[in-house]
């Protein structure tokens, strides 16, 4: 006999009637009225047993006594079977011990979640998401957009810029929507959403390597960018001073992160992120305004600079990676949304989407003027960093480069925080380290030192943008959200949603395949004349 999950209440003394106290028919009526579930019939062997006993010739006195005993026995048997089927025997010391163990384990997991950087603080406002997304997206990549335009040409360049803006806004909306798609659960990390879409193991294998390549790659590139910009400030302000190697400027830039990396979570670096967002808008405005003020250069040319067909093709591929690198905020969008409070009445996607819209307006104000005006003024003679092409006024160029330094300080922290979360999660949950400030200090210091060492060893800024942009940013930004959407929601074949997702997937695959080819070629060419730690 089977009853609903609430039937175990009947076994509690002084709480609800039991089959023994009411008899089976009374208990069944009470059960049906209280729990609104369908009563199940008595098993056939019970009926056959009753029928066999009833067929024997007995006196009326025996029948009355036997009926009383039989009804009591049946009621007791039924009650025992109900309790046994539902596993609802009276609580024992063993059950209490098991329950306390579960409670203790849940308390430990909650304590760990409260310690980890992504889930430790959930009191962010919608404008936090706005400047976090601006800081994550508008980075050093915007300064390379005029150079990317020179390698793509007017037609393909404008088309790729506009398509990338539209597609990445669409895929970012998908990420925001999927954050709380399961009632009562939040996918606070990119790989958690991947596990929900593809399965526990496959989701990790698909998402985590790509996310690590993106975030560690961005941190390495920003180490190079910060050091290069500091060097330009020094050379611009003090042109007659002794030359200082790029290695030392990267180390100076890294020293800031040896301090800031110990801030506990994303909300703790909100002030740094706000300053970085303001700086990104400022140096982007300086870049296009100074280019416009300088005017169209003499003998400007808008054709492809490479003299061979192979060079033109490879440069085109590398430029695709530069554009992909410019739209890179998706890798931290779920982690940013995790900092926003959420209730069933007011889910986090509302304030998050408001912040995303503001961020994308700022992105458009930064990207399109810099890319189009920079290419218009300098043509194919533009450098891979527009600020290099702007030689005067010196004070303005130095200011813009200093703004870049401040911005990439914030961007580095935004992209490093999910990496810190992954490392600390593995150490605490898998390797059973205690969640202490000492553990956090050691892991974060080692990570900053690692990215600094790689940046000093391979400071190929232009090639790094193209290589990482195509190899890692294209999947996580352009088509992986679409693949997850198709796997989870399963839209009708050939519907509008189906077509939109597959177009984004095709575009992202092209970027992923073609961009690293050009970026790797650029790195090889730069490496021919480069001396390590020079």
Contacts of 24 (CB under 8 A, 6+ apart): 42, 71, 74, 75, 78
Please answer whether residues 368 and 148 qualify as being in contact, where contact means their C-beta atoms are separated by less than 8 angstroms.
no
3-state secondary structure 168-231: HHHHHHHHHHHCCCCCCCCCCCHHHHHHHHHCHHHHHHHHHHHHHHHHHHHHHHHHHHHHHHHH
Report the chain's mean pLDDT, rounded to a whole number: 80
Asked whether the predicted pLDDT for residue 6 surpasses 70, the reply is no
Q: Are 182 and 195 in contact (CB under 8 A)?
A: no
Residue 321 is classified by DSSP as: H
Say whether the peptide bond before residue 393 is cis (omega within 30 degrees of 0): yes
Q: Where are the domains of the chain?
A: 5-86, 107-528
Q: Given this model, what pLDDT does residue 468 score?
A: 67
Predicted pLDDT at 34? 44
Confidence at residue 162, expressed as pLDDT on a 0 to 100 scale: 92
- Within 13 Å of residue 461, how many CA atoms lie on the same side as its CB? 18
Task: Tell me how far apart the alpha carbons of residues 459 and 229 are, in angstroms, rounded to a whole number.
Answer: 12
With 50 as the cut, is the pLDDT of residue 213 above it? Answer: yes
Q: How far is CA 340 from the centre of its chain?
A: 14
Rounded to an integer, the average pLDDT of 140-161 is 88
The domain 107-528 having CATH identifier 1.20.1740.10: the answer here is yes
CA distance 4 to 17: 15
Give the 3-state DSSP-derived string for 115-174, with helices as H, strands as E and coil as C. Answer: HCCCCCCCCCCHHHHHHHHHHHHCCHHHHHHHHHHHHHCHHHHHHHHHHHHHHHHHHHHH
Q: Using the 8-state DSSP alphabet, how is residue 430 labeled?
A: I
What's the CA gap between 13 and 495, in Å, rounded? Answer: 58
Q: Do 329 and 478 touch, CB atoms closer than 8 A?
A: no
Enumerate residues 6+ apart whose C-beta is below 8 A from 142: 280, 284, 287, 326, 366, 367, 370, 371
For residue 425, pLDDT beyond 70: yes
Read off the pLDDT of each residue in 449-456 and give the average, rounded to a whole number.
94
Q: Which two tokens stand for residue 321?
A: 């990676």
Smallest Cα–Cα separation from 412: which of 256, 139, 219?
219
- Residue 449 to residue 459: CA distance in whole angstroms: 15
Please give the share of the chain, as a percent, with pLDDT higher than 90: 42
**Could you give the maximum distance between any two Cα atoms of the chain, in Å?**
125
Q: State what percent of residues in the chain have pLDDT above 70.
A: 78
How distant is the alpha carbon of residue 391 from its chain centre?
39
User: What is residue 90's three-state secondary structure?
Assistant: coil
Q: Where are the alpha helices (DSSP H) in 10-86?
A: 19-35, 44-54, 60-86
Q: What pLDDT is recorded for position 397?
A: 87
Q: Are 160 and 323 in contact (CB under 8 A)?
A: yes
More confident residue, 70 or 127: 127
Among residues 327, 330, 270, which one has the least CA distance to residue 126?
Answer: 270
Is the Cβ–Cβ distance between 430 and 278 less than 8 Å?
Answer: no
Specify the pLDDT at position 36: 43
Q: Which residue has the higher pLDDT, 22 or 96?
A: 96
Predicted confidence at residue 318, as pLDDT, reads 78
Containing 523, the helix (H) or strand (E) segment is: helix 496-528
Q: What is the pLDDT of residue 505?
A: 94
What pLDDT shows up at residue 17? Answer: 46
- Closest listed residue to residue 21, CA positions, set 88, 71, 81, 85: 71
Pairwise CA distance, residues 297 & 460, whole Å: 27
pLDDT of residue 92: 62
How far apart are alpha carbons 267 and 123 in whole angstroms? 8
DSSP state of 91: P
Q: How far apart are CA 506 and CA 167, in angstroms?
A: 11
H/E stretch holding 415 reads: helix 394-425
Does pLDDT of 462 surpass 60?
no
Element containing residue 262 per DSSP (H, E)? none
Listed range (46-55, 148-157, 215-224, 321-330) with the worst mean pLDDT: 46-55
Residue 282: CA count within 13 A, CB half-sphere: 18
Query: In sequence order, which residues have a C-beta less than 8 Å from that of residue 498 and are 6 or more positions away?
Result: 486, 491, 492
């Amino acid at each position: 006999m089977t009853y609903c999950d609430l039937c175990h209440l009947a076994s509690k003394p002084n709480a609800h009637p039991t089959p023994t106290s009411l008899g089976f028919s009374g208990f069944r009526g009470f059960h049906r009225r209280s729990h609104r579930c369908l009563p199940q019939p008595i098993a056939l062997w019970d009926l056959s047993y009753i029928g066999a006993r009833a067929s024997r010739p007995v006196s009326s006195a025996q029948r009355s006594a036997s009926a009383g005993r039989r009804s009591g026995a049946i009621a007791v048997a039924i009650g025992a079977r109900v309790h046994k089927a539902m596993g609802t025997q009276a609580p024992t010391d063993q059950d209490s011990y098991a329950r306390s163990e579960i409670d203790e384990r849940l308390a430990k997991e909650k304590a760990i979640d409260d310690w980890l950087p992504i889930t430790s603080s959930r009191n962010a406002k919608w404008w936090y998401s706005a400047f976090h997304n601006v800081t994550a997206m508008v980075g050093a990549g915007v300064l390379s957009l005029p150079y990317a335009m020179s390698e793509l040409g007017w037609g393909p360049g404008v088309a790729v810029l506009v398509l990338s803006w539209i597609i990445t806004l669409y895929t970012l909306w998908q990420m925001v929507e999927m954050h709380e798609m399961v009632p009562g659960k939040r996918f606070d990390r990119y790989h958690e959403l991947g596990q929900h879409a593809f399965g526990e193991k496959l989701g990790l294998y698909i998402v985590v390597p790509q996310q690590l390549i993106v975030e560690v790659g961005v941190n390495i590139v920003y180490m190079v960018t910060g050091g290069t910009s500091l060097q330009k400030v020094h050379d611009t302000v003090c042109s007659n001073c002794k030359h200082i190697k790029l290695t030392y400027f990267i180390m100076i830039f890294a020293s800031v992160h040896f301090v800031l990396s110990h801030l506990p979570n994303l909300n703790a670096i909100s002030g740094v992120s706000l300053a970085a967002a303001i700086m990104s808008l400022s140096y982007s405005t300086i870049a296009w305004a100074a280019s416009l003020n300088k005017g169209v250069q003499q003998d400007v040319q808008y054709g492809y600079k490479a003299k061979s067909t192979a060079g033109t093709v490879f440069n085109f591929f590398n430029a695709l990676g530069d554009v992909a690198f410019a739209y890179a905020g998706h890798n931290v969008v779920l982690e940013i949304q995790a900092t926003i409070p959420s209730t069933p009445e007011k889910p986090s996607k509302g304030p998050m989407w408001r912040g995303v819209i503001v961020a994308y307006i700022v992105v458009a104000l930064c990207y399109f003027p810099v890319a189009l005006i920079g290419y218009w003024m300098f043509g194919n003679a533009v450098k891979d960093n527009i600020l290099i092409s702007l030689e005067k006024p010196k004070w303005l160029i130095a200011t813009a480069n200093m703004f870049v330094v401040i911005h990439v300080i914030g961007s580095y922290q935004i992209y490093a925080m999910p990496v810190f979360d992954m490392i600390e999660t593995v150490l605490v949950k898998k390797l059973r380290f205690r969640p202490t400030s000492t553990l956090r200090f050691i892991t974060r210091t080692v990570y900053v030192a690692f990215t600094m060492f790689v940046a000093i060893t391979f400071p190929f800024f232009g090639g790094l943008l193209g290589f990482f942009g195509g190899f890692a940013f294209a999947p996580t930004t352009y088509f992986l959200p679409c693949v997850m959407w198709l796997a989870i929601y399963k839209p009708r074949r050939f519907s509008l949603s189906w077509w939109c997702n597959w177009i984004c997937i095709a575009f992202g695959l092209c970027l992923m395949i073609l961009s690293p080819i050009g970026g790797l070629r650029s790195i090889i060419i730069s490496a021919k004349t480069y001396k390590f730690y020079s």
